[in-house]
A and B are shown apart, each in its own frame.
Chain A
Amino acid sequence: MSTRTTTKTILILGAVVVVAAFAYMLSGRIGNNLVYFYTPSELLAEGSKAYGAKVRLGGQVVPGSVKWDAPTTDLRFVMQDGKAQIAVHSQGAPPQMFRDGIGVVVEGKYVESGTFEANELLVKHSNEYRPPKPGQQPEEMYKSLIKAGAP
């Protein structure tokens, strides 16, 4: 009888330890991994507090601001929310749907030089379960490539 009681006690103690370790990890980790979402005007309103914190910035690509340097895979563009603008810099080719005027979300840090250094760039696309809007026909530029490269 006593061994059974001990067994049960040890088991309950084990469970308590596991749950406690779990709760401890959970409480610390979630706070550290929250990424807040800002628009350019909200981020600028934070002033110097905005520098260095990992945030997500959402807005529109200012038409004509995209500078994509293919040889160095360096991408620069300006984002706006109608009230304010922020220059964004990132490395790597932009997603295929990236273009002037499209809504984008970048994740990264706003640095003192006044540039948002992004390490992730997401283009806002419609919900997976919603069909795409009727869009443009494939543009002339791809057809030129067809003529150039077609066998």
Chain B
Amino acid sequence: MLGALGSSALRVALLVAAFGLLAGALGGAGGKESWIRTAYAAAYTQFALVATATLAMVTALVSHDFSVSYVAQVGSRETPLFYTIISLWGALEGSILFWGFVLSAYTAAVVYINRARPGKLVPYATATLFFISAFFLILLVGPANPFKPVFPVPADGPGPNPLLQNHPLMAVHPPFLYLGYVGMSVPFAFAIGALLSGETGSEWIRTTRRWTMVAWGFLAFAIVAGMWWSYDVLGWGGYWAWDPVENASFLPWLTATAFIHSEMVEERRGMLRVWNMSLIIVTFLLTILGTFLTRSGILSSVHAFAEGTVGYYFLAFIAIVLFASFVLLSGLSPRLKSTGRLDSLWSRETVFFFNNLLLTGFMFTVLLGTLFPLVAEAVRGVKVSVGAPFFNQMTIPICATLLLLMGVGPALPWRSATREQIQRQLIPPTVMMVTVAIGVVVAGVHQFYAVLAFAFAAFAITANLREFWRGIRARMTMHQENPVTALARLVGGNHRRYGGYLAHMGVLLLAIGVTASSAFRMEREATLKPGSALTLGGYTVRLKDLWGREEPQRVVVGADVIVERGGAVVGSVEPRMNYYKTSDTPVVTPAVRSRADADLYVNLMAFERDGSSATLRVLVEPLVSWIWFGGMVVALGAIVSLWPAARRVPRRSPPGGVAVDEDEVAVAAEGAA
């Protein structure tokens, strides 16, 4: 029943998508209002249909309807309700259904927000979104149909992968990842729409920027949540392993980051227009490539490719998008003539230029390292893996330079900086950088890149904080405001700018956390009898007792562990091991005692059946929590940046000129005084 409902909703949705694609394209080409209205109506209809199918799947999961293939695959009567619901995205078919749901929601939102906007841009963009969703709907009615009937109906199912039902972050990381990943379809649709309609002016770039920021913010949050999940669940004490699945989520984030910087050069100065268009297209392609890599089974081995046909569909789709985008971009690039030119080397434009060079280089490095094993196996027939040292050696210098640029960019003005401006803006951060470098070396840090990272982060933090301070001071003198009001009005008056600086601060905190936790990480493993202890980094970790407990879906074995510091008991932790009844693979629950200065991470590795001893792995990782905090600050920065301006309508930039805003005038006045 639910299976038939879901299946037919998806089939009709595919027809609607095909029709909407046609209507949008005709509406864009002919400009006929009736076709455009039809395409927009199709977007809402498609959303209603895919939402119905998704709801049918959730209902089937919750009611344990094992006649539906996906429920038979991931459902189980013992799984708690919460994990039953979120198993919607736990396996291939469900995750593609969820993808289709998010895409149809984005399509409906784009149409709703832009429904009254004249011109051909939105109809073409809508048609592009229908093209993408048609592809996913083809997967859903064909090779990845989650609603296939199962006969005979099993009485119970195996339940979701134990790894996916062991931590509440599984309810956070995947949906946000999809919101970010799928969200990159919208800027792509607007890019194609702009090329086809020829409406490549400031309207296009503003709309695209906002949608990219939305997806970028979601993706940043999802990546950090994924790191946190990996840290809290997998028990190895790390958060990033350059695993292909991680890389797949990171690649489009890098090019999207490049875009949200370089698009400002287009908005302000009319340059880099073909480049920006290419970045958007590449970002979208990387999301599809990432989905292909993680869903086709190609990652574990090239030979796993034969297991599913989904991979071929993805390859065909990537080829079509790549070819069509290339043809459109090369054929229509005269529509993207630069209207501005570079005035001076000492300008924000130059910093953005190098920022883009580094970010795309970063992307190519990670892409190469990820795809190399596949290419080597396909071409030379050898099985190789690219080790984490490759990624670290390549990306640490890039990251360090990017940290520095994060401070130089905000400090330099557009167009051209005078000698006085350069001195006034760059000397204080440089002083701070040198002070911190000397400070950490004196404190005993001798790893070159750790010193460099801390020093550059200090430079950039100073530069970004100074931007806030300069604005606050200008408002205080000009409007006689107190500092708090001045800060609120400053940020309120220019969400984009100060949201961006806030995001910088988040990335910098994250970078400090990553540097400290990887450079000063301590690790020890020992087998302890109840009552005995091991010491590490000032902590004494004492095993008190071992215990076991039976739960409906699993058996839990845990260790009571006492944490002592400086001779006094400061707390207790409880690392556990979970044996799921439907799986032969136990899953650990590491115990993490998280503090601002350092995390104590205790993992139960092995134990004697009679409870006489347990092997514990203990790690002390300084500043790990700064990574999670930094990630939230980045997301907050994205929210601030996107917050609609309440007081005033965004001003159009005069032709060929520079958009003026109040704060910049204020800051300039302060500088001149």
Instruction: Check: A135 CB closer than 8 A to any chain B CB.
Output: yes
CB distance from A30 to the nearest CB of B (A): 6
Instruction: Check: A67 CB closer than 8 A to any chain B CB.
Output: no
Given contacts A18-B361, A34-B384, contact A131 B547 (CB under 8 A): no
Q: Report yes or no: A71 in contact with B527, Cβ–Cβ below 8 A.
A: yes
Chain B residues with Cβ below 8 Å from A93 are 525, 605-606, 615, 617
Given contacts A132-B584, A135-B582, A138-B554, 17 further A-B contacts (CB under 8 A): A7-B345, A10-B345, A18-B357, A29-B394, A34-B376, A34-B386, A68-B606, A70-B613, A93-B525, A127-B297, A128-B294, A129-B95, A131-B91, A141-B609, A142-B557, A143-B548, A145-B557
Given contacts A11-B353, A33-B389, A129-B294, contact A145 B548 (CB under 8 A): yes
Q: Provide the A90-133 mask, 1 if CB < 8 A to any CB of B, else 0.
A: 00111011000000000000000000000000000101111111
Provide 11 A-B residue pairs closer than 8 Å at the C-beta atoms, listed in order of the A residue.
A4-B341, A22-B361, A35-B387, A73-B526, A96-B605, A132-B161, A132-B583, A135-B582, A141-B609, A146-B555, A147-B548
CB distance from B233 to the nearest CB of A (A): 12
Instruction: Check: A2 CB closer than 8 A to any chain B CB.
Output: no
Instruction: Check: B662 CB closer than 8 A to any chain A CB.
Output: no
Interface positions, chain B 229-274, Cβ under 8 Å from A, are 245
CB distance from A62 to the nearest CB of B (A): 19
Given contacts A7-B345, A93-B525, A94-B606, contact A129 B386 (CB under 8 A): no
Chain A residues with Cβ below 8 Å from B606 are 68, 70, 93-94, 96
Chain A residues with Cβ below 8 Å from B393 are 25, 29, 33
Q: Report yes or no: B582 in contact with A132, Cβ–Cβ below 8 A.
A: yes
Q: Report yes or no: A26 in contact with B611, Cβ–Cβ below 8 A.
A: no
Q: Which of A34, A71, A145, A151 contacts B611 (CB 8 A)?
A: A145
Cα(A139)–Cα(B577), bound, Å: 14
Q: Provide the B361-373 mask, 1 if CB < 8 A to any CB of A, else 0.
A: 1000100110010
Cα(A132)–Cα(B297), bound, Å: 15
Given contacts A70-B608, A129-B91, A145-B557, contact A35 B384 (CB under 8 A): yes
Instruction: Check: B550 CB closer than 8 A to any chain A CB.
Output: yes
Cα(A11)–Cα(B556), bound, Å: 61
Q: Provide the A1-30 mask, 1 if CB < 8 A to any CB of B, else 0.
A: 000100110110011001100100110011
Chain B residues with Cβ below 8 Å from A14 are 354
Q: Report yes or no: A138 in contact with B585, Cβ–Cβ below 8 A.
A: no
Chain B residues with Cβ below 8 Å from A76 are none
Instruction: Check: B480 CB closer than 8 A to any chain A CB.
Output: no
Given contacts A71-B527, A73-B527, contact A4 B610 (CB under 8 A): no
> Which A residues contact B (CB, under 8 angstroms)?
4, 7-8, 10-11, 14-15, 18-19, 22, 25-26, 29-30, 32-37, 56, 68, 70-73, 92-94, 96-97, 125, 127-139, 141-151
Given contacts A56-B385, A145-B548, contact A129 B295 (CB under 8 A): yes
Instruction: Check: B586 CB closer than 8 A to any chain A CB.
Output: yes
Top 6 nearest A-B pairs (CB, nearest first) are: A135-B584, A146-B548, A93-B605, A37-B383, A33-B390, A149-B547
CB distance from A60 to the nearest CB of B (A): 15
Instruction: Check: B160 CB closer than 8 A to any chain A CB.
Output: yes
Chain A residues with Cβ below 8 Å from B357 are 15, 18-19
Instruction: Check: B664 CB closer than 8 A to any chain A CB.
Output: no
Instruction: Check: B158 CB closer than 8 A to any chain A CB.
Output: yes
Cα(A32)–Cα(B345), bound, Å: 37
Residue in B closest to A33 when the chains form the complex, CB atoms: B390
Q: Provide the B423-444 mask, 1 if CB < 8 A to any CB of A, else 0.
A: 0000000000000000000000
Q: Report yes or no: B162 in contact with A4, Cβ–Cβ below 8 A.
A: no
> Which B residues contact A (CB, under 8 angstroms)?
73-74, 90-92, 95, 158-163, 245, 294-295, 297, 299-300, 304, 341-345, 350, 353-354, 357-358, 361, 365, 368-369, 372, 376, 382-387, 389-390, 393-394, 397, 525-527, 545-550, 554-555, 557, 577, 579-588, 605-611, 613, 615, 617
Residue in A closest to B75 when the chains form the complex, CB atoms: A131
Residue in A closest to B587 when the chains form the complex, CB atoms: A96
Chain B residues with Cβ below 8 Å from A142 are 548, 555, 557, 579, 609
Residue in B closest to A130 when the chains form the complex, CB atoms: B91
Chain A residues with Cβ below 8 Å from B527 are 70-73
Q: Report yes or no: B584 in contact with A133, Cβ–Cβ below 8 A.
A: yes
Q: Which of A36, A72, A128, A150 contacts B161 (CB 8 A)?
A: A128
Q: Report yes or no: A135 in contact with B613, Cβ–Cβ below 8 A.
A: no
CB distance from A27 to the nearest CB of B (A): 11
Cα(A34)–Cα(B525), bound, Å: 29
Chain A residues with Cβ below 8 Å from B394 are 25-26, 29
Chain B residues with Cβ below 8 Å from A19 are 357, 361
Q: Report yes or no: A36 in contact with B581, Cβ–Cβ below 8 A.
A: no
CB distance from B369 to the nearest CB of A (A): 7
Given contacts A36-B384, A149-B545, contact A96 B368 (CB under 8 A): no
CB distance from B12 to the nearest CB of A (A): 27
Chain A residues with Cβ below 8 Å from B586 are 96-97
Q: Report yes or no: A128 in contact with B555, Cβ–Cβ below 8 A.
A: no
Q: Which of A29, A70, A135 contacts B585 (CB 8 A)?
A: A135
CB distance from A3 to the nearest CB of B (A): 8
Between A7, A56, A137, A147, the greatest number of chain B beta carbons within 10 A of the residue's beta carbon is seen for A7
Chain B residues with Cβ below 8 Å from A25 are 393-394, 397
Chain A residues with Cβ below 8 Å from B354 are 14, 18
Between A22, A94, A125, the greatest number of chain B beta carbons within 10 A of the residue's beta carbon is seen for A22
Residue in B closest to A69 when the chains form the complex, CB atoms: B527
Chain A residues with Cβ below 8 Å from B342 are 4, 7-8, 11
Q: Report yes or no: A30 in contact with B584, Cβ–Cβ below 8 A.
A: no
Cα(A33)–Cα(B242), bound, Å: 13
Residue in B closest to A132 when the chains form the complex, CB atoms: B583
Q: Report yes or no: B163 in contact with A131, Cβ–Cβ below 8 A.
A: no
Q: Report yes or no: A73 in contact with B353, Cβ–Cβ below 8 A.
A: no
Residue in B closest to A124 when the chains form the complex, CB atoms: B300
Cα(A53)–Cα(B73), bound, Å: 42
Chain A residues with Cβ below 8 Å from B73 are 131
Chain A residues with Cβ below 8 Å from B163 are 128
Q: Which of B74, B358, B368, B386 contacts A131 (CB 8 A)?
A: B74
Q: Report yes or no: B583 in contact with A135, Cβ–Cβ below 8 A.
A: yes
Given contacts A149-B546, A150-B548, contact A30 B95 (CB under 8 A): no
Residue in B closest to A93 when the chains form the complex, CB atoms: B605
Q: Report yes or no: B365 in contact with A26, Cβ–Cβ below 8 A.
A: yes
Q: Report yes or no: B385 in contact with A35, Cβ–Cβ below 8 A.
A: yes
Residue in A closest to B299 when the chains form the complex, CB atoms: A127
Chain A residues with Cβ below 8 Å from B92 are 129-130
Chain B residues with Cβ below 8 Å from A37 are 382-385
Q: Report yes or no: A96 in contact with B158, Cβ–Cβ below 8 A.
A: no
Chain A residues with Cβ below 8 Å from B545 are 149
Chain A residues with Cβ below 8 Å from B162 are 132
Cα(A71)–Cα(B304), bound, Å: 40
Q: Which of B159, B554, B610, B613 contacts A148 (CB 8 A)?
A: B610
Cα(A15)–Cα(B376), bound, Å: 30
Cα(A40)–Cα(B345), bound, Å: 58
Q: Report yes or no: A73 in contact with B615, Cβ–Cβ below 8 A.
A: yes
Cα(A37)–Cα(B547), bound, Å: 40
Cα(A56)–Cα(B384), bound, Å: 8
Given contacts A93-B605, A129-B92, A130-B91, contact A26 B368 (CB under 8 A): yes
Chain B residues with Cβ below 8 Å from A127 are 297, 299-300, 304
Chain A residues with Cβ below 8 Å from B159 are 131
